[in-house]
Structure 1
Amino acid sequence: MTLDQFRPHVKDYFKPLIAVSLKLGLTPNILTVGSFIVAGFAGVAYFYENVLVGTLMVLLNAVFDSLDGALARAMNIQSPKGDFLDHVIDRYADIFIIVGIFAGGLAPWPIGVLALTGVLMSSYLGTQSQAVGVGRNYGGVLGRADRLVLILVAGFLQLAFPDPIFGLTLLAWLLLVFGIMGHITALQRFIFTWREMGKGGEKK
């Protein structure tokens, strides 16, 4: 189970922010684009090894990413178009953040590539499950919400303990976890979807 499964329930915790967003005339798409922009800033900050700014930008990305869906539900304007935009922005945000960490030297590039492929494949399998009619798959050991929380924790710990541990920064160790767990999650989602598709075939 991952934190992504609780996304529909965050509206109860975001009511004050939703109220402010409505008063300001903000839309879910504006917040989605906002999450894209702050993710870009996070990537740039990590590239220049400014862990504090990068982590704060990741925090804003997490808030915007949760708030856009909650706002859409509050306004009763959920749509496939908005969902599509959200998924595309999320993938670019993942790329910005992870590439920023390893391209700037906070993690070795092989670990960064492993993390990037693991994250993208796990996310792809989740949406591909929906594309083939099984439904959005949030299962597996590591979802996007989990990754954002872990980046925040690792980022702030990195500030407190900047020295490498066994030759790697805390953020590098985190990317290694993302890579391994991401591919495990992708495999779990593939197996689940494959089995569900088999059940559909048997019913026919």
Structure 2
Amino acid sequence: MTLDQFRPHVQGIVQPVVDLARKIGITPNGLSLASFLVSILAGIAFYAGGVALGVVMVAFNAVFDALDGALARDMGVAGLRGDFLDHVIDRYADIFIITGIFAGGAASWPIGVFALTGVLMSSYLGTQAQAVGVGRFYGGLLGRADRLVLIIIAGTLTVLIPGEIYGLNYLGWLLVIFGVLGHYTAFQRFVHVWRRIEKE
């Protein structure tokens, strides 16, 4: 279950925005850069205790991240450089956002590192599959789109219903979930790729 698999099906929804972006001269790399900048702002906001602002910035990151590839395909300029840039920015965005959440006090640093390594390893294995000739594989329980939506939900709940459950607020517990499901997703992707390699 990852929302990433539904990306091809939302083209009709984002197309009007893509058309507007083309009309006013926005480029795919410009959107990628914008997604990078708002992820930095999200991390700073979470660190400073501005959870509401952090949630808004994460939402912008999700929108820009969805639009850059769609715009590149629409303009016929999708290529390896843009794809490479997008993945690098996504990983740094993950680092800024998650680090901001736990450094801001939502969870202890061991939980934060557990969450961050789970997220990074699941993403790494998704693309490493292509490096060994199997092709990218983004299956498993927790994809990037899932994480962004969950951060928005947990952050909103933290603002609207403040409080703690066994010492952690919603964002803190979300990091625990990211750690568990992130590493499990990495394991799922590893098994899938390993089996595909054996067949070749």
TM-score if structure 1 supplies the norm length? 0.96
Equivalence map 1:84-163=2 (5 Å): 84-163=84-163
Structure-1 residue corresponding to 2:75: 75
User: Are 2:22 and 1:28 equivalent residues in the alignment?
Assistant: no
Q: Contact 1:119/1:182 (CA < 8 Å) preserved in 2?
A: yes
Equivalence map 1:6-45=2 (5 Å): 6-45=6-45
Q: Contact 1:3/1:146 (CA < 8 Å) preserved in 2?
A: yes
Structure-1 residue corresponding to 2:66: 66
Residue by residue, what CA displacement relative to the aligned partner does 1:156-193 show, whole Å, maximum 9, x if unpaired? 11111111111101000000000000000000000000
Deviation, 1:73, is: 1.3
Aligned partner letter, 2:39 = A
Deviation, 1:10, is: 2.5
Identity of aligned residues (%): 63
Residue by residue, what CA displacement relative to the aligned partner does 1:69-115 show, whole Å, maximum 9, x if unpaired? 11111112111111110000000000000000011112211111100
CA RMSD of aligned residues (A): 0.8
Aligned partner letter, 1:22 = R
Aligned partner letter, 1:27 = T
Query: For structure 2, which runs of at least 5 residues remain unmatched after alignment?
Result: none
Which has the larger displacement, 7-16 or 18-27? 7-16
Distance 2:11 2:29 in 1: 17
Which has the larger displacement, 45-54 or 3-12? 3-12
Q: Contact 1:154/1:171 (CA < 8 Å) preserved in 2?
A: yes
Aligned partner letter, 1:26 = I
Aligned partner letter, 2:142 = L
Distance 2:8 2:82 in 1: 15
TM-score if structure 2 supplies the norm length? 0.98
Distance 1:140 1:17 in 2: 30
Alignment length (residue pairs): 200
Aligned partner letter, 1:186 = A
Query: For structure 1, which runs of at least 5 residues remain unmatched after alignment?
Result: none
Aligned partner letter, 1:31 = L
Structure-2 residue corresponding to 1:5: 5
Distance 2:69 2:174 in 1: 27
Distance 1:69 1:190 in 2: 26
Distance 1:7 1:108 in 2: 34
Equivalence map 1:185-196=2 (5 Å): 185-196=185-196
Q: Contact 1:49/1:104 (CA < 8 Å) preserved in 2?
A: yes
